[in-house]
Chains A and B, each alone.
Chain A
Amino acid sequence: MSSAPAAAPDLLLDAASVRKEFGGLVASNDVDFRIERGSIVSLIGPNGAGKTTFFNMLTGVYTPTSGSIVFDGIDITGKPPHAITKLGIGRTFQNIRLFPQMTAVENVLVGMHARLHGGIFGSIVRTPRVRKEEREARERARELLRYSGLKSRHGEYASSLPYGDQRRLEVARALATEPKLLLLDEPTAGMNPQETVAFIDFVSRLRDERALTILLIEHDMKVVMGVSERVTVLEYGEKIAEGTPHDVQSDDRVIEAYLGKGATTH
């Protein structure tokens, strides 16, 4: 690139030529991807573009075939998911993956696992320290649930909550891991337009109030345009465009990817 910018951007995540092959299929083709601290960015693309694969590499579910991922100055390439979570990447899943037979509070408490210290001996004896930690964790869990919009029903099993609440619970659980970077995988899937608007509003609130950096995955373009500062578009595992929502929206290759060849000529 040409001369360096005046102030180097404060990068929270820097993924360089990340590649993932499944047999002969290249699900992620040397993708470069950066996230600036404190921003809301989106990764979009048609179905099967490799968004979730990329997500799974960031969170350690998949190990990249090649390339490197640096998070907050630490190389996390190939680290196991729990280690990455501990470093500060929290996530939700595209098809909600709560612990169905645990209560809402318990789900959030599981999210705090890496931040709590109660050991085996302490748990059996219930030392004052462990008692205190548990009590405070429960309090914090309820706070997080309320913050995420679950007003009541904290003691109900996750599986018996309505769909929208399950989505909220997943966010609360991800917040409980105390992330610096929150990854939301198609969080508005299955929501009606009003719910979507409310959720997007919640996402920007999260960033402002909790000093989070947020990465959204969406395949619905309209959803991300209002909220994100930068948008990256993937298609067939390749990055085809990147920039502000406005730039991306008018990019010929993006329009082609979404609407098919010929759409650009009109």
Chain B
Amino acid sequence: MKLPTRMKGSGPDRHPGESSPGTGGSRLPPQLTQAWNTIPEPFRGWLLPLGFVALAFLYPQYQESLPGAFPGVGTAVIMIVFTMMAVGLNIVVGYAGLLDLGYVAFYATGAYTAGWFASLQFEQVSFHLGSVGISQDAVGIHLSVWLILLIAGSLTALAGILIGLPTLRLRGDYLAIVTLGFGEIIPQVVRNGDNIFGFDLTHGTFGISPIDSPGFGETGAAIGLPESFQQSFEREQWFYWTAVALLLFTLFCSIRLRDSRLGRAWIAIREDETAAAAMGIPLMRTKTWAYAIGAFFGGVAGAYYATFKSGAFPSDFFFNISIFLLCMVILGGMGSVWGVVLGGLILSYLDQEGLAKLGNSFSEVIGKQIDVPKYNFGVYGLIIVLMMLFRPTGLIPERRRKKELAEGVHDETFYDEAA
């Protein structure tokens, strides 16, 4: 008697969940299905993302008519900035599989770059280049914030390379510990950097404040754009729209890189370092690129956040931020760009507003005042534990990871690293 040896296998190499909404539309009213079919084929795939983008950009317009649980526009800016950092961290942790517990260092580098190049910090000099909303005879370096975002990204990427060179030779736990160390060192340097041989680099615990605002200057004002965001009546809106644009840019780069030669090399390293090296992938260089690119976005986000708050303070860069960002990545799904966006938005919302609002309604229900935000890390810990128990691959799993966690991985160390 012969038994079929394989039940599945010859199926098409499409992945579940990729079927177009048009085919599964039996439950939709026929008019809708018909409307869907009138859209030309190449545009269908763009429809959903475009819809999301439009919704995101219009958020300040309809935010006030939403229920009170929705975040304010100012909060949304912070949420997006943190999400951007999480997407950057995802390149390091999710794609390349390098556990980085010191990502806050990149955030700090970005924020202080903004501080250096757009504030009164260096009063020895007076240099202006495209700065807005500040008098032309103010001391200090004042570059255009748009330029600073680029500089901050590049400087932070450089910092990523410098940190990466000595640490990326390590594997797994060792790498995590060393990055943890760097994550602690940078805030300490910042805190004590007010007297480096008599030179005030970071203004110590006071931080650098105020930091110039982004804006479009007089030329922009002529066509109705705000000259300076901070002085605009629609301050939060403009910061919000710019943040969305920056996040979109981050997502675009992140997805394009994932699907490139470099992205494949990262995933190969994550899967099996030894085999990756044997296939001609230079481990150090490829990992360093992951670090540098992840750092780039952390730096841009940090610099942007600093201009939004108009300040960079050492108390912002605690170790717990690194863990918080890592939680976003894990909650969303390591390696999954959209998952990380979702995870980032959820956790940063809870952190900024959600827990307080939740706490208030909770307190009303039980008739006793409980300060829920005080227990924030307990709540995040609980979320992560529950995730690990019930959905270890994250909210929106990367399709690869889904299998990996179901089947387990083998990766014995193989190099004679001691030699």
Q: B261 within 8 Å of A by Cβ? A: yes
Q: A149 within 8 Å of B by Cβ? A: no
Q: Is the CB of A102 within 8 A of B267?
A: yes
A101 and B400 contact, Cβ closer than 8 Å, known pairs A61-B278, A110-B279: yes
Q: A244 within 8 Å of B by Cβ? A: no
- C-alpha gap A173/B252 in the complex (Å): 29
Per-residue contact bits, chain B 247-287, to A (CB 8 Å; 1 contact, 0 not):
00000110011011111110110011011111111110000
- C-alpha gap A187/B314 in the complex (Å): 57
**Number of interface residues, chain B, beta carbon within 8 A:** 40
A111 and B407 contact, Cβ closer than 8 Å, known pairs A102-B267, A153-B9: no
Per-residue contact bits, chain B 378-404, to A (CB 8 Å; 1 contact, 0 not):
000000000000000000000011011
- C-alpha gap A115/B414 in the complex (Å): 25
Q: B137 within 8 Å of A by Cβ? A: no
A97 and B280 contact, Cβ closer than 8 Å, known pairs A118-B261, A120-B257, A124-B257: no
A159 CB to nearest B CB, Å: 6
Tell me which of B281, B282, B404 contacts A110 (CB under 8 A): B281
Per-residue contact bits, chain B 41-55, to A (CB 8 Å; 1 contact, 0 not):
000000000000000
Q: A155 within 8 Å of B by Cβ? A: yes
| Chain A residue at minimal CB-CB distance from B15 | A155
Q: B199 within 8 Å of A by Cβ? A: no
A100 and B13 contact, Cβ closer than 8 Å, known pairs A59-B278, A93-B275, A118-B262: no
Interface size class of A (residues with CB under 8 A): 35 or more
Q: B216 within 8 Å of A by Cβ? A: no
Q: A17 within 8 Å of B by Cβ? A: no
Q: A114 within 8 Å of B by Cβ? A: yes
Q: B66 within 8 Å of A by Cβ? A: no
A93 CB to nearest B CB, Å: 7
Q: A83 contacts which chain B residues (CB < 8 A)?
A: 282
Per-residue contact bits, chain A 28-43, to B (CB 8 Å; 1 contact, 0 not):
0000000000000000
Q: B7 within 8 Å of A by Cβ? A: no
Q: B252 contacts which chain A residues (CB < 8 A)?
A: 124
- C-alpha gap A159/B267 in the complex (Å): 15
Q: A236 contacts which chain B residues (CB < 8 A)?
A: none
Q: Is the CB of B403 within 8 A of A159?
A: yes
Q: A168 within 8 Å of B by Cβ? A: no
- C-alpha gap A81/B276 in the complex (Å): 9
Q: B277 contacts which chain A residues (CB < 8 A)?
A: 60-61, 80-82, 85
Q: Is the CB of B419 within 8 A of A63?
A: yes
| Chain A residue at minimal CB-CB distance from B271 | A99
Q: Which 6 A-B pairs have the closest CB atoms?
A: A155-B13, A114-B280, A123-B260, A85-B280, A101-B400, A81-B277
User: What would 13 A/B residue contacts be, using CB atoms closer than 8 Å?
Assistant: A61-B414, A62-B419, A81-B277, A82-B282, A83-B282, A93-B275, A100-B407, A101-B271, A111-B280, A114-B280, A123-B257, A157-B403, A159-B407
A85-B280, A101-B400, A113-B261 given. 4 additional CB < 8 A pairs?
A61-B415, A62-B419, A82-B281, A114-B280
Where the two chains meet, the residues of B that have a C-beta atom closer than 8 Å to any C-beta of A are: 9-10, 13, 252-253, 256-257, 259-265, 267-268, 271-272, 274-283, 289, 293, 400-401, 403-404, 407, 409, 414-416, 419
